[in-house]
Amino acid sequence: QGPLMESGGGSVQSGGSLRLSCATSGHTSGNYCLAWFRQSPGTELENVAVIDSRGVRTYADSVKGRFTISQDSAKNTLYLEMSSLKPEDTAMYFCAARSGIMGCITYSRYGVWGRGTQVTVSS
* pLDDT tier, 26 (very low <50, low <70, confident <90, very high otherwise): confident
Q: 1 pLDDT exceeds 70?
A: no
User: Quick one: pLDDT at residue 23?
Assistant: 94
* pLDDT tier, 28 (very low <50, low <70, confident <90, very high otherwise): confident
CB neighbourhood size of 45 (10 A)? 17
Closest CA to 36 of 122, 121, 123, 119: 119
Which whole number is the average pLDDT over 67-89? 95
What is the per-residue pLDDT across 82-109, written as a single tens digit (0 to 9) for each? Answer: 999 999 999 999 999 999 999 999 999 9
